[in-house]
């Protein structure tokens, strides 16, 4: 039996938000960016690939 997928956002200490489950991510113009099962979102403001994390927080 399939377990129901729980929509979950994990806050990584000194790192990104990990978004898992049934999410829709829309950009600043309302355009659809992603419906992937798992995305990493920048929360430090330094990523060159915003809104996604690119690891820049480690620098």
Residues near another protein (CB under 8 A) are 6-13, 17, 19, 21-28, 30, 33, 41-46, 48-51, 57
Residue with smaller CB distance to another protein, 1 or 48 = 48
Distance CA 47, CA 3 (A): 34
Distance CA 38, CA 17 (A): 10
Residue with smaller CB distance to another protein, 1 or 26 = 26
Cβ(29)–Cβ(16) under 8 Å?
A: no
CB of 1 to another protein, least distance (A): 21
């Amino acid at each position: 039996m399939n377990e129901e997928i729980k929509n979950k956002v994990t806050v990584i200490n000194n790192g990104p938000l990990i978004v898992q489950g049934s999410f829709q991510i829309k950009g600043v113009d309302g355009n659809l960016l992603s419906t992937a099962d798992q995305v990493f979102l920048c929360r430090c403001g330094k990523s060159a690939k915003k809104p996604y994390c690119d690891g820049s927080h480690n620098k």
